[in-house]
């Protein structure tokens, strides 16, 4: 369907469909839509993004599949098997215990249902079934393909320059005012159909500074010895304010380098953006993206915009996927 990027409703004008939940974008892109805000990536938007490639620098935004280690949120660790065949002339391999949301990831619309209103665009529980006969599978993202303008907001570097760096073992909020102040300092704006990348610095801390004991406590299964409640990290919030801010930017998606995008753990008082962004607004969430090399280059040349591509797995009925994301400058 044709999307007018210059005439999108503000958050306070939602919903646009009679009977849809408060604060939802249900029906905005059609009653049977399964792409949500990715609809904002129009062919014109992709063509404009391609013009941002000036020096040919390519940055992979994907962690190794076996990081974090141990995995978080009770997910399993991937097991890689290498096979030899053909008289030793050929090789094959396969994966066991591959959890598509254990490393760098997209959260698709099957990942979270609103506790009262259900899945995105009114999809019912009984429509979330294996394979592509169900609705809201990650294959919808894959078959569209994602290529648009990306914008990096390097909050960690900005706050360090202000002498106010984040405590990586606290659930401190990165607020809308801080995001906006950082963008103003970087002299970059965000517009409809862009993908917003937020560097909190958490992943750098996890990989370079966290102790083995800290990583062990944050990951794995509580029954296997991990400490319940040990995963605490900064992120975006508070939920109500940040959800409104992100929607009014009309981004196609938002991703960060921490495990949950939100500050973790969520509480009833703080709210949880996942309940708003995925099932109500149809805004994909990226987590654990590796933004370090990209951020260093952006700081060096002062250019925080780039072409961003992502090819999620074409897995019918999938809940999430590695992003297979590239930033190209």
Please provide the CATH number assigned to the domain covering 11-328. Answer: 3.50.30.50
**Domain boundaries, given as residue ranges, for the chain:** 11-328
Predicted pLDDT of residue 269: 85
Q: How many residues does the chain have?
A: 329
Distance CA 68, CA 64 (A): 8
- Which token pair is 129? 């079934």
Q: What is the pLDDT of residue 222?
A: 41
Residue-level pLDDT at 74: 87
d(CA 121, CA 268): 24
DSSP 179-217: HHHHHHHHT----TT-EEEEE-SHHHHHHHTS-HHHHHH
> pLDDT of the chain along its 329 residues, tens only?
667 888 999 999 999 999 999 999 999 999 999 999 999 999 999 999 999 999 999 999 999 999 999 999 889 999 999 998 877 788 999 999 999 999 999 999 999 999 999 999 999 999 999 988 899 999 999 999 999 999 999 999 999 999 999 999 999 999 999 999 999 999 999 999 999 999 999 999 999 999 999 999 998 654 343 455 689 999 999 999 999 999 999 999 999 999 999 999 998 888 999 999 999 999 999 999 999 999 999 999 999 999 999 999 999 999 999 999 999 99
Query: Which pLDDT value is given to residue 226?
Result: 44
């Amino acid at each position: 369907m044709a999307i007018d990027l210059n005439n999108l409703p503000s958050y306070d004008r939602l919903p646009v469909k009679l009977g849809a939940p408060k604060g939802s974008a249900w029906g905005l892109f059609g009653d049977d839509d399964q792409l949500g805000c990715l609809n904002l990536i129009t062919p014109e938007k992709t063509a404009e993004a391609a013009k941002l490639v000036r020096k040919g620098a390519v940055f992979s935004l994907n962690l190794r599949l076996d990081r974090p280690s141990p995995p978080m949120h009770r997910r399993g660790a991937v097991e890689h098997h290498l096979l030899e065949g053909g008289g030793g002339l050929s090789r094959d391999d396969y994966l066991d215990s591959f959890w598509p949301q254990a490393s760098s990831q997209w959260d698709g619309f099957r990942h979270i249902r609103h506790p009262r209103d259900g899945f995105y665009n009114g999809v019912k529980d009984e429509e979330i079934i294996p394979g592509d006969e169900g609705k809201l599978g990650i294959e919808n993202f894959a078959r569209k393909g994602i290529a648009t303008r990306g914008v990096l907001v390097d909050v960690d570097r900005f706050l360090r320059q202000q002498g106010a760096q984040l405590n990586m073992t606290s659930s401190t909020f990165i607020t809308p005012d801080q995001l906006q102040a950082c963008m103003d300092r970087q002299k970059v704006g965000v517009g409809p159909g862009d993908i917003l990348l937020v560097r909190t610095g958490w992943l750098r801390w996890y990989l370079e500074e966290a102790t083995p004991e800290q990583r062990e406590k944050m990951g794995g299964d509580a029954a296997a010895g991990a400490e319940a409640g040990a995963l605490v990290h900064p992120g975006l919030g508070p939920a109500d304010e940040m959800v409104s801010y992100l929607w009014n930017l009309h981004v196609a998606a938002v991703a960060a380098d921490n495990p949950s995008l939100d500050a973790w753990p969520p509480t009833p008082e703080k709210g949880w953006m996942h309940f708003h962004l995925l099932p109500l607004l149809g805004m994909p969430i990226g987590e654990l993206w590796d933004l370090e090399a990209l951020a260093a280059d952006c700081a060096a040349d002062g250019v925080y915009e780039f072409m961003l591509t992502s090819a999620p797995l074409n897995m019918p009925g999938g809940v999430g996927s590695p992003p297979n994301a590239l930033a190209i400058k």
